[in-house]
Amino acid sequence: MLSSVDLGRVRFIHIICLFSVILFFLLIFLPPVYVLGYGSSDSFNLDASSKAALINSFLIAATVTLVDIVIGLPVAWVMARRKHMRFRHLFDTLLDMPLVVPTSVLGLSVFYCTD
């Protein structure tokens, strides 16, 4: 049986998880859904090519997320279980590259493509 301290900690963790899910939907999920759903109204002025580009971006993001989950979870499991691997630091650096490269590529593309 859980003590009152453990029960309070479990409730706190549940509240934090619920807050995280609500924040995700309010800040990440709802704005693109709103823009795509009401894109034909006068406030957004989205033409067909802009709407197709947004939908294409979301499809690419969903595909990349699935590939990352399929590849990333087993690799993370191996990295966590085997502390003394040969070339561990190089392997860890290669795994961190997708987190760094998109940000720098976006910054360089904005820098070089502006008028």
Give Cα 112 to chain centroid, integer Å: 26
For the entire predicted model, the pTM comes to 0.53
What confidence tens digit (pLDDT) does each residue in 67-96 have? Answer: 888 888 888 888 888 878 788 888 788 878
In which residue ranges of the chain is pLDDT below 70? 1-5, 38-46, 103-111, 113-115
* Contacting residues for 68 by C-beta, under 8 A, at least 6 apart: 98
* Cα dihedral 21, 24, 98, 50 sign: positive
Q: Mean pLDDT, the chain, as a whole number?
A: 77
